[in-house]
């Protein structure tokens, strides 16, 4: 996954951006507060997981953002939210940025600024291992679980299978709905599905293959924060090329 993004980062568009980001990094770090407040999901492994109600957290997004803060020379202050509350927290400036396997979509780009993508974004259907569902064609007319406010409901609707979409505020509730047969299958990001299948062998199974969605996972902030996003982009370029990204990635995927 990491290597796929070297091609993206090294094209003409982003090489031009590289120069702009160098200036933006200096401008941002000398003109902003020393703490960057970051909104993330409460429970979204392997990207982010809050171990309890304290400040204990771990996951790919946490480690990536911590490295970015280190290079920005600012302190990271993470705040947990339900995924659908992240947008409101950003709008009300309760947080400076959001990182939560956030997919870049056309609709979101109209309202927010995004960093360069740090991972390709793919969706994946899955079901209980005991389910008779085998491939996406079997999903016609079925109940599909989706985490609220994610881009996956639009994907389900676009496939015109006359599905009933059941929304869940938290992933734990979606998995419970699957366990209790309230839904026939669920959809979320491919990396998370792989994670759950790996740590709970024999419980879940894939339905079909991964489905490209959006323009990648990225860090999101409010419009008007161009200097911040350019500074973040500069660091993303650096950690892609100096091996840091691959080191962090290898711990979780």
Sites in the chain below the pLDDT cut of 50: 1-31
Q: How many domains does the chain have?
A: 2
Same domain flag for 237 and 156: no
What φ, ψ does residue 28 adopt, rounded to 5°? -65, -50
Same domain flag for 110 and 127: no
Same domain flag for 186 and 197: yes
Q: What pLDDT is recorded for position 240?
A: 95
Q: What CATH number did the domain enclosing 6 receive?
A: 3.40.190.10
DSSP states along 79-134 = EEE-GGGHHHHHHTTS-SEE-SSPBP-HHHHTTEEE---SB--EEEEEEETT----
Q: What pLDDT is recorded for position 40?
A: 95
* Residue 175, CA distances (Å) to 98, 183, 203, 222 in order: 24, 9, 11, 32
Same domain flag for 154 and 76: no
Same domain flag for 109 and 163: no
In angstroms, the first-to-last Cα distance of the chain is: 9
Where in the sequence is the domain holding 231, given as residue range(s)? 2-120+215-250
Same domain flag for 111 and 138: no
Q: How many CB atoms lie within 10 A of CB 18?
A: 14
Q: Among 89, 69, 67, which Cα is nearest to 79's?
A: 89
Alpha-helix residue ranges (DSSP H) falling in 143-218: 152-158, 171-179, 190-199
Name the pTM for this structure: 0.84
Same domain flag for 15 and 109: yes
Same domain flag for 239 and 163: no
Q: Among 186, 192, 176, which Cα is nearest to 41's?
A: 192
The rounded distance, in Å, linking the Cα atoms of 43 and 213 is 21
Same domain flag for 139 and 27: no
Q: What pLDDT is recorded for position 7?
A: 38
Same domain flag for 131 and 44: no
Same domain flag for 6 and 109: yes
Condensed to tens digits (0 to 9), the pLDDT of residues 114-148 reads: 999 999 999 999 999 999 999 999 999 999 999 99
Same domain flag for 115 and 126: no
Condensed to tens digits (0 to 9), the pLDDT of residues 185-216 reads: 999 999 999 999 999 999 999 999 999 999 99
């Amino acid at each position: 996954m990491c290597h796929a993004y070297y091609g993206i980062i090294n094209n003409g568009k982003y090489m031009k951006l590289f120069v702009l980001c160098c200036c933006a990094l200096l401008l941002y770090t000398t003109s902003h507060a020393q703490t960057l407040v970051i909104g993330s999901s409460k429970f979204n492994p392997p990207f982010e997981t809050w171990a309890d109600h304290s400040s204990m957290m771990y996951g790919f997004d946490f480690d990536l953002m911590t490295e970015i803060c280190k290079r920005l020379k600012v302190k990271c202050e993470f705040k947990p939210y339900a995924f659908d509350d992240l947008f409101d927290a950003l709008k009300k400036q309760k947080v400076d940025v959001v990182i939560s396997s956030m997919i870049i979509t056309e609709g979101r780009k109209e309202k927010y600024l995004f960093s360069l993508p740090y991972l390709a974004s793919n969706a994946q259907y899955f079901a209980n291992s005991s389910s008779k569902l085998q491939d996406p064609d079997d999903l016609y007319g079925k109940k599909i679980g989706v985490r609220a406010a994610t881009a996956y409901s639009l994907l389900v609707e676009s496939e015109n299978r006359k599905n009933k979409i059941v929304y869940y505020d938290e992933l734990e509730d979606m998995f419970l709905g699957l366990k209790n047969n309230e839904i026939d299958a669920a959809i979320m990001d491919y990396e998370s599905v792989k994670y759950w299948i790996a740590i709970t062998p024999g419980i879940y199974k894939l339905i079909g293959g991964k489905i490209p969605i959006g323009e990648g996972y990225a860090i999101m902030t409010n419009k008007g924060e161009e200097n911040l996003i350019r500074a973040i982009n500069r660091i993303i370029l650096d950690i892609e090329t100096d091996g840091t990204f691959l080191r962090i990635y290898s711990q979780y995927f």
